[in-house]
Structure 1
């Protein structure tokens, strides 16, 4: 019964700066929030939702008919900003995760979790849960929330198909997840779920709200750049 909350934690995306945590906790944080996957997931989510948004804009569709390279240029411009923003936020992301885990788990317990996450099963679980996120649901939930289009922990959990993610694992891997979840360290780790999810959601909102206007500006500049040569001709 406790496997779903454990698996859900691999989606951590907090971004508040805290003092440097102990090295073991930092090792955990870098494994728990892998840089390449975090940036790639953010860019993929942006491209998917931006494409959906642009498709619903008649004015953009009309411009695209005149400037065939417009969509690619606009998406690439926005994606560059997303990559830069998330990459620059990773050190503080890692600090926040490390600080929370340092407070909740002893060093030896952190090492146990690290060993699990480094295992083939731990890696497979992280990948499966990341791929289970429905970014469309997340975007819709943000738009539906009148409070600055902010997500809630419930909305984040609701965007995940954790059952489907666990179904992507082999029976042996599912058993390994279950076994770890029932260890003293596994149970203690899961007790951090409410705190971690609250922090993750809060800091993700902060990161997205900081990134959004910069992305919009970059996309607007790309539109103007594409249209300018045609106007001169």
Structure 2
């Protein structure tokens, strides 16, 4: 396992500036946040010329990309372009959202099958994020979707599963299907708090992932609006050091 960080942590900045901030904080692996509604980095921009994007990134940055993370669902043509950019950058992981609550289960299975088929052609894994307000907020739904779509995994965010009575069971159910992680400190009532003031048991999470043979990224993913920019660097350093100490 290794530590990475998402550019979402600085999503109010231009992408290039976010990369510089992350390098200054001594992270050495990067997850790229793509949001069509933001000026940070749009998926349509990457997809328009994947090879050019990859070349420009390598020319301008020394920190390797290990994953892409899509804020929203995108058209198939855009997703194909992102998968091609992934191939050029030797990225093997893309995270996507699951559909909102109320979406027919069979429709979601069909959508995810299409994404997995497109990504697999470029040697890329697809996982969907565990999030409130979406089908993946229910752990049983999340695991069932993984079972229904061959090659599909989860991007596990433990912040949304902190009920003490269910925590161990949730970790055990989700860990075998985990392709990627998004980490921050949280409480049952607050999705993001200062590092050390939350209830996320990072040690237990690392232990069960290790038990399942997980060897991929532990990706720090702060919600930018929940931490002032002036404090974000400190929080990111603390999280990096905390997770590093467990590896």
TM-score (norm 1): 0.24
Greater relative CO, 1 or 2 (CA 8 Å, sep 6+): 1
Structure with greater proportional helix content: 1
TM-score (norm 2): 0.23
Q: Which has the larger radius of gyration?
A: 1
